Structure 1
Amino acid sequence: MDTSYEIYVLGLNHRFAPVEVRETLSYEADEIPRYLQRLLQDDTFAEAFILSTCNRTEIYVVGKVTAPIQELLERFILETRPAFVSRHRDLFYFLEGEAAIRHLFRVAAGLDSMVLGEPQILGQVKEAFQIATEAGSAGTLLRRLFNFTIIAGKRVRSETALGEGAVSVAYAAVELAHKIFKDLSNLNALLIGAGETGELTARHLREKRIGRLYITNRTFSRAEQLAAVLDGTAIPMRQLPEVLREVDLIIGSTSSREFILTRDQVKALLPHRAGRPLFLIDIAVPRDFDPEINRLPNVFLHDIDDLQQIVQRNLEKRREQVPRAEKIVDQEVQNYLNWRKTLQVTPTIVALREKLEAIRQRELEKYRHRVSPEEFEHLKRVTHGIINKILHLPIVQLKKYNNGNPDGLLRIDVVRELFDLEDDDD
């Protein structure tokens, strides 16, 4: 009996599940190929890929429409991830067909991310696609789905401002510095504190081509490690007074209970700076820099509240872009569905016949004025018969593939590609 197939997704993400639940369901990249092969051992599934990040785990399959897909995928998860407690199954979402396709496109576009518009997810989706392709679990439907997914993600980034503006404190600090100085390449910067936020800030500074980057930390070895990775210069805390005379930008990111820099310390530096302005950005809580520093001449201090305001403004700007981004997603979903329709036999047969008929007509026109009207009519009848004979067997074979099976869809897709029928249905 012929069986139709559809695209399904079972998933769990940051919207519905806390991190302690999500971490029990994550899959490492090097083990995913093994699990994909395990999925495909069940002939219910023809194709599959797994997207697993810190904020989501989603299993996409091409499966038989007559099968209990959700039940089978939940069983697969419980078998492969014993730490995932069965009572958490109510946190899953299960989508099929167009809803599953739209969900994937929204994920790739950053519309479903914890941080709206974050750029990393598109790369993570690409990696998931690559793993599935190399594992041999991506067939006709998923390979083309991958193409449209990447197109949707790239279009949202290039045609909207969904991914623009800093939406993290670390990036907002660097964006503020860039706004103040315009060009950071001729500046010296000092990062005080080499923890997670400090490291992220330093990486953003490097991306903005900061000139010389000094890094200090109470644990000096940590400063050395980060400096080695980011081509910076590690300095011990005791050398701060000397370095402070050289730098133009200071970023504080420690967890100190006392001020790292006081008003008097900074005031003592000013005579040695030859009138150069000094900018300080405090992203620490508690604060690293005495707020009284801001009263000194030619010294400018911004704290985390200032940065949070920047983040909030940028988030509001991103939210304004959501309708445009959703429209692009809808367009690409429709484009994918239109492609799916071309895999139906009747449109393919019609397109193939029209293609060959167009070739026949073009070639006949070359002889219209070279032969008599009677001979031309004879040529028309003969070539029409040839076209019918050429098409007979391919049409018979194509009709055998009209069963919704991915193998049949692949054969139809090959025919359309061989005869360049794609444009006929755009």
Structure 2
Amino acid sequence: MHVLRVGFNYKTTPLETRETFTFSEDHLSQAVKQLAAEKSILENVIISTCNRTEIYVVADQLHTGRYYVKRFLSEWFEVPIEDFALYLQISENEAATQHLFKVVSGLDSMVLGETQILGQIRDAFLAAQKAQTTGTIFNELFKRALTFAKRAHHETGIGAQAVSISYAAVELAKKIFGDLKKKHVAIVGAGEMGELSAKNLLGAGVGQMTVVNRSLENAEALAKTFGASSATFDHLPSVLKQADIVISSTGSQEPIITKEMIAPVQMKRKGAPLFLVDIAVPRDIEAEAGQAENVFLYDIDDLQHIVDDNLASRQAAAAKIEHMIDGELVLFEEWIQMLGVVPVITALREKGLAIQAATMESIERKMPDLTAREKKVLQKHTKSIVNQMLKEPIKQAKEMSACTKREEALNLFIDIFGIENEVRTILDKQNYKESETLNSNGGSHISFPFLKHLPSK
């Protein structure tokens, strides 16, 4: 049994191709079910965001797994395989698992250490669970990955510092003013940077927002999106009088806010602090405007220094997380290795307890006058005998998971204790999809396919 990751991401795939291979949220359930029906695919989860489409599968064979995922993509999007094969990235087993841990931790994102992907992967996993396309392997793997990502972000603080200009502007405002709930922010310019600033301000809980633009129509359109008020440049002095924070990002070739404009505004504001952030190139705010009393002016170079410092901090945190991932991969491999042993140990315990229960029934038939207390004592001691007898065999079974010929060793163990039927029943209940073959003596042999690709210790 093998884990495969097949997909496209922003690093190697053009936007137009990523757009073509995007699964809509409404059809995701149908997609994972259709993929699950493909031969060789035992489990699957589909992650589809604006920056990536990745399909994770558990397959019984690597080559057939790769083929059927490609065929599924081709049929679902009605695109010949040869038209997208160039952009398709495929990783297998430990590399696929390692990639999932990196993605969910934000190490493979456009913005290093961002947390949005964590929620997106959680939603994709839950959708697959609901559609019943996950099983033993992915239920464990994705839960481990999601839990790890939360811990890694908490322990390293990788996402705590701003690494975009607009976000850095908002974080700087928070450092100066603290709580922004009672602050009035003016967004000057209704373009992309203005919109990003408005989004970050909204996330920071800003109390009041005004969008100022040369075109009132554009100002109103952006303001409507964020529940803000709107104004044109003609009303800028009036807006400055009311605002605590101004973030400017227009396409003007000349300054929008000048020293002459700020001086009378500050007189009317009675010296209340005014925080000006100029993220435009060319600059929207004259440098001399920052010389006025209680006016704090930052331009894009100031913010870029903050971003560069923060990015260096995130890269250091990312290195720590990568080291932490190595430890998680070892733990997951150990868990996988134990998969074949668990049903064997369970079967051994069940058989031992069944013998104990049958023995107790025989004792009670032959000694019907036993008191409740005597029955309880016998029950306790006969179970204790079983547990003590099974302690060493169970220890040996666990050690078999790490040996070179683990499958042959487990089958010998099964034969010695006569628990073949019990093991098969457990495997059937747990949907391990084990196969039955014949050994060299003509007897039956239980196959544990998920053990085959694992290295022995």
TM-score, structure 2 length as denominator? 0.75
User: Residue 150 of structure 1 is aligned with which of 136, 146, 166?
Assistant: 146
Secondary structure of 2:16 counterpart: helix
1:350 aligns with 2:374: no
Conserved? CA contact 2:71–2:81, under 8 Å: no
Alignment match, 1:396: 420
| Equivalent-residue separation in structure 2 for 1:301 and 1:382 (angstroms) | 77
Alignment match, 1:327: 323
Alignment match, 2:58: 62
Map 1:199-278 onto structure 2 (within 5 A): 199-278=195-274
CA deviation map 1:84-106 (0-9, x unaligned): 77354233221121221111111
Deviates more, 1:222-231 or 1:240-249: 222-231
Alignment match, 1:116: 112
Conserved? CA contact 1:251–1:280, under 8 Å: yes
Please tell me the residue identity of whatever aligns with 1:262: T
1:21 aligns with 2:17: yes
Query: Displacement of 1:405 after TM fit?
Result: 11
Query: Displacement of 1:354 after TM fit?
Result: 6.6
| Equivalent-residue separation in structure 2 for 1:16 and 1:137 (angstroms) | 28
How many residues get paired? 392
Distance 1:167 1:401, change over 3 A: farther
User: Residue 100 of structure 1 is aligned with which of 71, 96, 111?
Assistant: 96
Please tell me the residue identity of whatever aligns with 1:240: L
| Equivalent-residue separation in structure 2 for 1:131 and 1:315 (angstroms) | 33
Conserved? CA contact 1:116–1:318, under 8 Å: yes
Secondary structure of 1:408 counterpart: coil
CA deviation map 1:397-423 (0-9, x unaligned): 34326989971279xxxxxxxxxxxxx
CA deviation map 1:257-281 (0-9, x unaligned): 3322122222232321212232210
Conserved? CA contact 2:2–2:62, under 8 Å: no
User: Residue 432 of structure 2 is aligned with which of 408, 411, 419?
Assistant: 408
Deviates more, 1:136-145 or 1:228-237: 228-237
Please tell me the residue identity of whatever aligns with 1:183: D
Map 1:121-136 onto structure 2 (within 5 A): 121-136=117-132
User: Residue 189 of structure 2 is aligned with which of 176, 185, 193?
Assistant: 193
| Equivalent-residue separation in structure 2 for 1:381 and 1:112 (angstroms) | 52
Percent identity of the aligned residues?
A: 36
| Equivalent-residue separation in structure 1 for 2:242 and 2:31 (angstroms) | 55
1:290 aligns with 2:286: yes
Secondary structure of 2:246 counterpart: strand
Please tell me the residue identity of whatever aligns with 1:101: T
Secondary structure of 2:128 counterpart: helix
Secondary structure of 2:326 counterpart: helix
Secondary structure of 1:280 counterpart: strand
Distance 1:212 1:134, change over 3 A: same
| Equivalent-residue separation in structure 1 for 2:334 and 2:71 (angstroms) | 33
Query: Displacement of 1:30 after TM fit?
Result: 1.6
Conserved? CA contact 1:253–1:284, under 8 Å: yes
User: Residue 27 of structure 2 is aligned with which of 27, 31, 38?
Assistant: 31
Distance 1:409 1:314, change over 3 A: farther
Q: Point out where structure 2 has 5 or more consecutive residues left out of the alignment.
A: 361-372, 391-413, 435-457
Please tell me the residue identity of whatever aligns with 2:223: A
Deviates more, 1:274-283 or 1:221-230: 221-230
Query: Displacement of 1:320 after TM fit?
Result: 0.7
| Equivalent-residue separation in structure 2 for 1:222 and 1:409 (angstroms) | 59
CA RMSD of superposed structures (Å)? 3.6
CA deviation map 1:14-61 (0-9, x unaligned): 222232332232222222222222222223112112111121111111
Structure showing greater relative contact order (alpha-carbon pairs closer than 8 Å, 6 or more residues apart): 1
Query: Displacement of 1:347 after TM fit?
Result: 4.3
Conserved? CA contact 1:343–1:409, under 8 Å: no
| Equivalent-residue separation in structure 2 for 1:53 and 1:84 (angstroms) | 22
Secondary structure of 2:50 counterpart: coil
Q: Point out where structure 1 has 5 or more consecutive residues left out of the alignment.
A: 365-369, 411-426
| Equivalent-residue separation in structure 1 for 2:208 and 2:30 (angstroms) | 46
| Equivalent-residue separation in structure 1 for 2:428 and 2:256 (angstroms) | 68
Deviates more, 1:104-113 or 1:139-148: 139-148
| Equivalent-residue separation in structure 1 for 2:80 and 2:250 (angstroms) | 36
| Equivalent-residue separation in structure 2 for 1:279 and 1:112 (angstroms) | 35
Query: Displacement of 1:130 after TM fit?
Result: 2.2
CA deviation map 1:359-418 (0-9, x unaligned): x8xxx9xxxxx99xxx98xx6599649x99xx99994334326989971279xxxxxxxx
